[in-house]
Structure 1
Amino acid sequence: MKLKSLSLLAIAGVVYCGLASAHAAEGAKTAQKPEQQQAAAKGATPALEAPSLNLKVPIFSPQFAQFPVAMVNDEKITLEELTKSLGSVHEDMTEGKTARKKDFADLLKRLINSQLIIQEGRNMGLDQLEEVKKAVGSFQKKLLRETLLKEQVKDVKVPEKDLEKAYREETREWQLKSIIFEKEADAKAMEKGLKGGKKFDALFDAAIKAGSAKEGGKASEFITRENIHPVMLKMLLPMKEGQVSDVLPLEKGFLVFRVEGMKSKDDPAVKEKVHQDLLTKARLKTLENFRDGLIKKYAKKNKKLIDKLDFEAKKPGFESFLTDKRAIVEIKGEAPVTVADLAEAIKAKFFHGVEQATKSKKVNKSKEELILQILETRVIEKEARERKLDKDEALRAKVKSYENSLVFGTFVDKVIKPEIKLTDDELQAYYREHAKEFTSEAKYKLDAITFKTAAEAEAAVEKLRQGMDFKWFKANADGHITESEAVHNLFEGDFVLASDMPESFQKTLTGAVTGDYRVVAGPTESYAVYVQEVSPLQTLPFSVVEGDIRKAIFFKKLNADVESWAEKLRNASDVTIYADFGQ
């Protein structure tokens, strides 16, 4: 497939020949700043610019990922940033479709606008706000942990023999010969006879003949695990062909069965599910071992102090632990885990109230679990830093991108949103102009008499229109049948939205009023429909939709104000676009 390309004006540091062409000259003109273009228009001679050349590159080429498509006050927007923002456009292109040139230009404009607002937000110090710094720090730590953990499980695989065994067990079916006794004593008597060497079939036949038991099911049929009670399945899984079960109590009676046969069916979907389940378990086991190794490597518990801590004691009381800086776990080269850290974790776990959890004696029992959670987070972060993952360029780029999104959002929340005002006149005008958007859908309360043919339904409607009582006629009409499950819900006495009905009903009921009779014809059954009640299409009152209108106008103004702010910043900034989507 031929990927769409864009033309990039690349500033070349040293080019000695071949740059006097009209194409290159036009490129240099494109990269001129507004004041230079104005000077040229007036006949002034602009300052000598570096030579330039046009390059055509595939948009999704990794070789050009870091190539700048624009510069915003000395900060570049790369081709990679552009392609990552394409989303569905990229997906369409992989299917052989071509994105419009305007899509790329508009997207680049949005990226430039965002960058301008982010830069302004940084100039205002929004990136130094405590809530922003805290959120960025939490994101970075989370990303560090995830990156390290993904590295540990990337090569984990499920052995083929383990997969095959689990798959066969999951798809296994059993053929059973079973007998159900009414009394436990009779079931135990059969069990005793089996242990004494008597044959299953002989004891089976004798119990049936004596009337003390009945056959449990057809021995010729195979049953799947979905149809077997969990208690019985647990007993059945390790059994082999020919084996007889112990006595199994049922809700009514006592079961004894013999495995007559087993087989496994082929089901690729089940096999994939089994594979994913096994892979998840294997990965979790790998991560648990990795975590335990790190705890052993970096942490040392003060077990004596941990055991001594009583968070449920009335004195000194739980609140005192929240300021207790005693170390319960030392971590090499890091701040220790303190009593206060553990107390905060307890408070977070029992957010509905520590006091209630104390009464239930749940708090002290949670100590070891919560210490493990705290240690897991701390030692994994430490190991990630030891491996210098925090210096990884890709990870740092993700953190920077997240920080940028917070700065942009904070700018919008603190600078733009407070200036947006909505008036009653605007709300009412929007309500009038968009009245069609604020209508309730027509709904019907229906009943029907079902027939095999349209002719029978038409004849029935004619009689109903002449005054025949509907209820009596529905019970006594010749040739009436029970409606199919597909339409049964239409006739249960509740209102049904028109859009929830089959198309044939929607068309037939258009314009119907309360008390009407209509014929709905179908390929296998037709209906004499009684329209018991109609709630027609109507405009919702302003009070009901005011909230939606406020949101719609607010976000329209918000988008316009973001554009306006970006335009102001752009006029006061140095923005150079190298991408030319016109070719």
Structure 2
Amino acid sequence: MEIRKSLLKGRFLGVVGYLFLLSLPFFMGCATVSHKDNVLAVVDEAPVTEADLAYALQISHRREDLSSAGSLDISPYIEKLIDERLIFDEARRMGLDQLPEVREKAKAYITRESVMRLHDEEVLRKISVTDEDVLKEYAQNYFHFGVIVANSADEAKAIKEKISGGEDFSEAARTYSVHASKEKGGEVAYPRDAIVTPLREALSALKPGDCSDVINVNDKYYLVKLFDNKETDEILNARKKDIAANLKKQRQKEIENSYLKTLREKAPVTINEELLAGIDFAAGKEELEKRAADATPLAEVNAEVITVGDFVSSVSPMKQEMIKTAEDKKRVLDSLIDVKVLDQEALSRHYEMKDLKDEVERYENYLVREAFIRQLMSSRMNITEKQLTDYYAENQKQFTNPPSFKLQQIRVRTREEAEEAMASLKNGADFLWLAKEKLPPSLNEDSISLGWVEKDKLPGSLQKIIDPLKPGDNSPVFESNGYYAIVRLLDKSEGKVKDFESVRETVSRAVFEKQYKEILDGCVADLRGKALITVDDAAVRELEARLQK
């Protein structure tokens, strides 16, 4: 069942793959937004619209920040969109949009997003939970009760005797209970199936107003009193949101199962039972690898094939040992069939031609852009050893360790104490002895010696005064982290350049990024030189003004 659940969840609720778009290059955004397609620029007759910009800038999330700017200039972002449009068009002209890997990924994206649209139409829009439903759920499936917890059986019995003698249960809870609910007089409300069995059984046997005998649960001693659910407005209101959410989850699951059952009933399915019986997940790694590459049809769903390879690959290596019986294998295959019928139904609705059209185009643009850049870089990028060593030599400061200082410190709570300590030092007091004498109670002697500290790790106030000091010098008084301090410089080490081999990876990455940018910028410049580009300045200024309102 777990395998089936995970596969279905991946189809009906698999938004993770879509969310990765948030990390894509500039032109990709967070979601389709409801802006009109005002044309801001035209690139070889192809428009760059306000909706494109909104998608790229995630304006729906950043509008407040943009609007608060003293002066808003979106021209650089439009120029970047123009650059991206030039790359998309050139990549498509080269036929990169027809590469098998691009088509495969685009198809997978369309399938995934279509299933999400299907789920929205056939499941989410049909979920309804009313206040009456919440009240009914609460009355039928929640216990509203008081609870008192004692640390011993004798304490619990003594409390029960007081309640039996007329003491109010709520007052007893406030006075004697060790339960978290004591401040509320022990009053709580929980779903029946969330209550431990001994308490649930005791509550089920009580009438409203009755108090239980002492109940031992893991060496905690309970008394519970059942309240009438009709007198629970405050408790109900506190629980209402959670109850409604749980009901929605239950109904979502019911609708999903019902809808999936309907699809399965109308889908013609054939299974090669003999072939299925011959697949053994305990056959060993080598045999399973062969099976994973096997294109033999195992099942057909609406004339679409599920292969032996599809079946074997759907079970992770960690779960293969769980597939032991014919029923286990049937459940795995059923899950694949469920996925197939959902995909088929979603794709039959052609969302990619309607509300998914813009998103599909943007995703395909991303794919062809990546294919274009891979091809561009593989043909032009050439990083040599000389380029690495030249970059290292030209950027010595980047690879130099900061200067380090060996320090001791005196720390006190007030500036007056610090000035007194400074006067004592000038009169010849020993620094270490004085540091111990002045040490606040909250600190220990280990805090006096700082050892070797790199300059960029020092407090900002100390960084400003440390450089002129020589070994043996004391610093002026400075403030840091709520204390006033004086440091003594014991020794110092000037920054040293790191060995090339120790920073080779960093140098390689920097040279790669530099060359990557140069190649891409040069390519875009060439494309711009061949393109007809116009920017509607009036439309851009109008949009800037509107965003700042």
Q: State the TM-score, normalized to the length of structure 2.
A: 0.65
User: Displacement, 1:452?
Assistant: 4.0
Partner of 2:82: 112
Residue 166 of structure 2 corresponds to residue 201 of structure 1: no
**CA offsets 1:481-502 (integer angstroms, 9 cap, x no match):** 1149xxx997797877666665
Instruction: From the superposition, tell whether residues 524 and 139 of structure 1 become closer, same or farther in structure 2 (CA, over 3 Å).
Output: closer
Partner of 1:391: 353
Instruction: From the superposition, tell whether residues 533 and 376 of structure 1 become closer, same or farther in structure 2 (CA, over 3 Å).
Output: farther
User: Displacement, 1:402?
Assistant: 1.8
208, 215, 221: which one aligns with 1:256: 221
One-letter amino acid of the structure 1 residue matched with residue 98 of structure 2: Q
Partner of 2:515: 557
- SS of the residue aligned with 1:69? strand
Instruction: From the superposition, tell whether residues 407 and 479 of structure 1 become closer, same or farther in structure 2 (CA, over 3 Å).
Output: closer
CA distance in 1, matches of 2:281, 2:401: 57
One-letter amino acid of the structure 1 residue matched with residue 223 of structure 2: R
Residue 373 of structure 2 corresponds to residue 412 of structure 1: yes
Residue 312 of structure 2 corresponds to residue 343 of structure 1: yes
179, 192, 197: which one aligns with 2:151: 179
One-letter amino acid of the structure 1 residue matched with residue 56 of structure 2: S
User: Displacement, 1:313?
Assistant: 5.7
Once the two structures are superposed, the pairs formed by residues 459-474 of structure 1 within 5 Å of their partners are: 459=420, 466=428, 468=430, 470=432, 474=436
Partner of 2:277: 308
- SS of the residue aligned with 2:152? strand
Instruction: From the superposition, tell whether residues 478 and 123 of structure 1 become closer, same or farther in structure 2 (CA, over 3 Å).
Output: closer
Contact 2:149 2:178 in 1 (8 A): no
172, 176, 181: which one aligns with 1:219: 176
407, 414, 419: which one aligns with 1:453: 414
How many equivalent residue pairs?
471
CA distance in 1, matches of 2:256, 2:490: 63
Contact 1:445 1:494 in 2 (8 A): yes
Residue 100 of structure 2 corresponds to residue 121 of structure 1: no
- SS of the residue aligned with 2:442? coil
CA distance in 1, matches of 2:287, 2:383: 52
Partner of 2:8: none
Instruction: From the superposition, tell whether residues 407 and 509 of structure 1 become closer, same or farther in structure 2 (CA, over 3 Å).
Output: same
39, 44, 48: which one aligns with 1:77: 48
Contact 1:384 1:390 in 2 (8 A): no
- SS of the residue aligned with 1:247? strand
Residue 361 of structure 2 corresponds to residue 400 of structure 1: yes
User: Displacement, 1:396?
Assistant: 2.8
Instruction: From the superposition, tell whether residues 260 and 289 of structure 1 become closer, same or farther in structure 2 (CA, over 3 Å).
Output: same
**CA offsets 1:324-352 (integer angstroms, 9 cap, x no match):** 73534x42x33143444212323xx11x7
525, 543, 546: which one aligns with 1:567: 525
User: Displacement, 1:375?
Assistant: 2.6
Contact 2:472 2:489 in 1 (8 A): yes
CA distance in 1, matches of 2:453, 2:439: 27
Contact 2:473 2:489 in 1 (8 A): yes
Q: State the TM-score, normalized to the length of structure 1.
A: 0.62
**CA offsets 1:185-236 (integer angstroms, 9 cap, x no match):** x99xx9xxx7xxx9833799xxxxxxxxxxx9972666169xxxxx997469
**CA offsets 1:275-318 (integer angstroms, 9 cap, x no match):** 77776665455444433443344264759658734414659954
**CA offsets 1:420-461 (integer angstroms, 9 cap, x no match):** 234555445544554444444566777766544344455556
One-letter amino acid of the structure 2 residue matched with residue 550 of structure 1: S
User: Displacement, 1:413?
Assistant: 1.1
CA distance in 2, matches of 1:572, 1:282: 58
One-letter amino acid of the structure 2 residue matched with residue 341 of structure 1: D
Structure 1: state its 5+ residue gaps. Answer: 1-59, 205-215, 226-230
Residue 382 of structure 2 corresponds to residue 381 of structure 1: no
Partner of 2:216: 247
**CA offsets 1:224-282 (integer angstroms, 9 cap, x no match):** 69xxxxx9974698569844552223xxxx3313258999999x999988877776665
CA distance in 2, matches of 1:307, 1:395: 38
Instruction: From the superposition, tell whether residues 380 and 120 of structure 1 become closer, same or farther in structure 2 (CA, over 3 Å).
Output: same
Structure 2: state its 5+ residue gaps. Answer: 1-32, 165-172, 183-192, 542-549
Instruction: From the superposition, tell whether residues 310 and 259 of structure 1 become closer, same or farther in structure 2 (CA, over 3 Å).
Output: same
Instruction: From the superposition, tell whether residues 406 and 521 of structure 1 become closer, same or farther in structure 2 (CA, over 3 Å).
Output: closer
- SS of the residue aligned with 1:117? helix
Instruction: From the superposition, tell whether residues 327 and 546 of structure 1 become closer, same or farther in structure 2 (CA, over 3 Å).
Output: closer
CA distance in 1, matches of 2:175, 2:448: 40
Once the two structures are superposed, the pairs formed by residues 36-47 of structure 1 within 5 Å of their partners are: none
Instruction: From the superposition, tell whether residues 274 and 536 of structure 1 become closer, same or farther in structure 2 (CA, over 3 Å).
Output: farther
Instruction: From the superposition, tell whether residues 277 and 450 of structure 1 become closer, same or farther in structure 2 (CA, over 3 Å).
Output: farther
Instruction: From the superposition, tell whether residues 495 and 66 of structure 1 become closer, same or farther in structure 2 (CA, over 3 Å).
Output: same
CA distance in 1, matches of 2:96, 2:225: 74
- SS of the residue aligned with 2:280? coil
- SS of the residue aligned with 1:549? helix
Contact 1:93 1:99 in 2 (8 A): no
Instruction: From the superposition, tell whether residues 422 and 318 of structure 1 become closer, same or farther in structure 2 (CA, over 3 Å).
Output: closer
141, 145, 166: which one aligns with 2:111: 141
One-letter amino acid of the structure 1 residue matched with residue 351 of structure 2: L
- SS of the residue aligned with 1:141? helix
Residue identity over aligned pairs, in percent, reads: 19
Contact 1:443 1:495 in 2 (8 A): yes
Contact 1:520 1:529 in 2 (8 A): no
Instruction: From the superposition, tell whether residues 335 and 160 of structure 1 become closer, same or farther in structure 2 (CA, over 3 Å).
Output: same
Instruction: From the superposition, tell whether residues 79 and 524 of structure 1 become closer, same or farther in structure 2 (CA, over 3 Å).
Output: closer
Instruction: From the superposition, tell whether residues 96 and 163 of structure 1 become closer, same or farther in structure 2 (CA, over 3 Å).
Output: farther
- SS of the residue aligned with 1:91? helix
**CA offsets 1:72-119 (integer angstroms, 9 cap, x no match):** 2x5443443244334469725763547655x32x44443333333333
CA distance in 2, matches of 1:307, 1:558: 51
CA distance in 1, matches of 2:247, 2:53: 39
Contact 2:213 2:223 in 1 (8 A): yes
One-letter amino acid of the structure 1 residue matched with residue 359 of structure 2: K
Higher helix share: 2
Contact 2:409 2:435 in 1 (8 A): no
One-letter amino acid of the structure 2 residue matched with residue 294 of structure 1: L
Contact 1:444 1:497 in 2 (8 A): yes
Residue 447 of structure 2 corresponds to residue 482 of structure 1: no
CA distance in 2, matches of 1:83, 1:537: 47
CA distance in 2, matches of 1:367, 1:276: 34
**Greater gyration radius:** 1
User: Displacement, 1:178?
Assistant: 0.4
307, 332, 338: which one aligns with 1:370: 332
One-letter amino acid of the structure 2 residue matched with residue 327 of structure 1: L
Contact 2:111 2:347 in 1 (8 A): no
Contact 1:173 1:264 in 2 (8 A): no
User: Displacement, 1:565?
Assistant: 2.4
Contact 2:411 2:438 in 1 (8 A): no
Once the two structures are superposed, the pairs formed by residues 234-313 of structure 1 within 5 Å of their partners are: 234=196, 242-249=211-218, 254-259=219-224, 283=252, 286-298=255-267, 300=269, 302=271, 308-312=277-281
**CA offsets 1:123-173 (integer angstroms, 9 cap, x no match):** 33322222222222222211211222233324645555777999xx99x99
User: Displacement, 1:578?
Assistant: 5.5
Partner of 1:17: none
CA distance in 2, matches of 1:497, 1:157: 62
Contact 2:396 2:497 in 1 (8 A): yes
CA distance in 2, matches of 1:91, 1:100: 11
